[in-house]
């Protein structure tokens, strides 16, 4: 677009508007796509289907946790054993937190005061005070902890442990284990239902989705596609969208009866998956094809495929909703 050359009396206004727009990057919903193979994060403007920024972070970024009140995005960097903090208005890294663990899974407490980072190389999780990031507390998990979610009342932390085939339930006040709940084989990602009553856990090797009751800790299971890696739940709690890593597809499962009602072909080795409530879309990061698939949740069809740098993952809750 061509613009007329401004005269001197409009220069200050032009500068002001430029500054305002440069800081207003969150006009719509934004997806943060971690690119493990290029040590970067892509900032995806979902509505306009384009990457607006590419941010250099630590080595081998994997997980995403969004603090909307703080206007911060936390990125776990597995190989540099750090967490990068991105300012979600300027889209710049403002701090690197050394954690000295193989950081993969990452999530926040509901009040955004505590950041939980799972040690993929061990059997522990660390709790970080977001107001004082140098303050860490380590506590026990199962073997190879990965995905995590905090209950709606902020009282429980659920940790999927890949190599012990269970979920650790932790009291967030004391950081003590409440229970170890057996699930399927190699649980990896998990998410909380919109009503806060159920934790959904994907079990990679058993090709199942475990439904774990937040209060009773009772479980049930339903089938998924081959090698599930991520799960997102529709806002009405009716549908589960599961990324099937080895089938290169997303299963749409009717939660009420466990039936798969649709299987949607996406990119190669899909991993991270999230529901964009504003636009009724499902966003999928495809690790093998370096792309992001956009699925229309009304028709269950792929409407866009967007390129992202090498080995994109986006493990966790990676969509920042516009306020």
Report pLDDT digits (tens) over 127-182. Answer: 999 999 999 999 999 999 999 999 999 999 999 999 999 999 999 999 999 999 99
Measured CA to CA in angstroms, residue 11 lies from 2, 7, 14, 50, 207 at distances of: 17, 7, 5, 29, 60
Band of the pLDDT at 322, cuts 50, 70, 90? confident
* Of 16-25, 103-112, 196-205, 272-281, the least confident: 16-25
Please give the pLDDT value at position 28.
85
Neighbours of 48 (CB within 10 A): 10
Torsional sign, CA 106, 107, 109, 112 = positive
Q: What domains sit in the chain, N to C, each tagged with a CATH number?
A: 27-320 (2.130.10.10)
Looking at residue 22, its pLDDT comes to 41
pLDDT at residue 263 in the model = 98
Cα 321 from Cα 296, distance rounded (Å)? 17
Give mean pLDDT, residues 257-280. Answer: 97
pLDDT of residue 5: 37
For residue 312, the 8-state DSSP code is B
CA distance linking residue 63 with residue 257, whole number of Å: 31
Per-residue pLDDT at 12:
42
> Whole-structure pTM over 0.85, yes or no?
yes
Whether the predicted pLDDT of 13 surpasses 60: no
The pLDDT > 90 percentage for the chain reads 90
Q: 271-315, pLDDT tens digit by residue? A: 999 999 999 999 999 999 999 999 999 999 999 999 999 999 999
Q: What is the mean predicted confidence (pLDDT) over 212-222?
A: 98
pLDDT value of residue 118: 98
Strands 315-316, 61-67: parallel, antiparallel or unpaired by DSSP?
A: parallel
DSSP result, 151-200: -TTS-EEEEEETTTTEEEEEETTT--EEEEEE-SSSEEEEEE-TTSSEEE
Q: Poorest-confidence range of 17-21, 150-154, 239-243?
A: 17-21
Average pLDDT, the chain: 92
Q: What is the pLDDT of residue 228?
A: 98
**pLDDT recorded at residue 100:** 95
Say if residue 112's pLDDT is above 50: yes
**pLDDT (tens digit per residue) in 57-94:** 999 999 999 999 999 999 999 999 999 999 999 999 99
pLDDT band at 27 (very low <50, low <70, confident <90, very high): low
DSSP 188-214: EEEEE-TTSSEEEEEETTTTEEEEEET
Note whether 253 and 260 are within 8 A (CB): yes
């Amino acid at each position: 677009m061509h613009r007329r050359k401004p005269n001197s009396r409009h220069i200050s206004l032009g500068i002001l508007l430029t500054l305002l727009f440069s800081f207003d990057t969150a006009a719509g919903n934004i997806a943060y796509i971690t690119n493990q193979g290029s040590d970067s994060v892509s900032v995806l403007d979902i509505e306009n289907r384009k990457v607006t920024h590419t941010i250099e972070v630590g080595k081998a970024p994997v997980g995403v946790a969004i603090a909307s009140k703080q206007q911060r995005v936390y990125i776990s960097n597995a190989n540099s054993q750090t967490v990068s903090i991105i300012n979600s208005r300027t889209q710049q890294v403002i701090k690197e937190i050394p954690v000295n663990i193989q950081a993969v899974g990452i999530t926040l407490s509901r009040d955004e005061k505590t950041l939980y980072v799972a040690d993929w190389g061990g059997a522990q999780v660390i709790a970080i005070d977001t107001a004082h990031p140098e303050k860490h507390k380590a506590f026990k998990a199962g073997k190879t902890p990965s995905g995590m979610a905090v209950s709606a009342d902020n009282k429980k932390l659920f940790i999927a442990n890949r190599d012990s085939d269970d979920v650790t339930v932790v009291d967030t006040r004391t950081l003590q284990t409440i229970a170890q709940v057996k699930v399927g084989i190699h649980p990896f990602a998990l998410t909380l239902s919109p009503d806060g009553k159920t934790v959904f856990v994907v079990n990679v090797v058993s090709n199942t989705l475990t439904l774990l009751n937040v209060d009773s800790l009772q479980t049930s299971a339903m089938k998924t596609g081959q090698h599930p890696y991520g799960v997102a739940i529709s806002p009405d709690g009716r549908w589960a969208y599961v990324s099937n890593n080895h089938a290169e597809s997303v299963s749409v499962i009717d939660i009420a009866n466990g039936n798969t009602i649709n299987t949607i072909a996406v990119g190669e080795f899909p991993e991270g998956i999230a529901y964009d409530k504003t636009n009724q879309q499902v966003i999928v990061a495809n690790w093998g094809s370096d792309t992001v698939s956009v699925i229309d949740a009304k028709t269950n069809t792929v409407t866009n495929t967007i390129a992202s740098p090498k080995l994109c993952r986006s493990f966790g809750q990676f969509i920042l909703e516009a306020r």
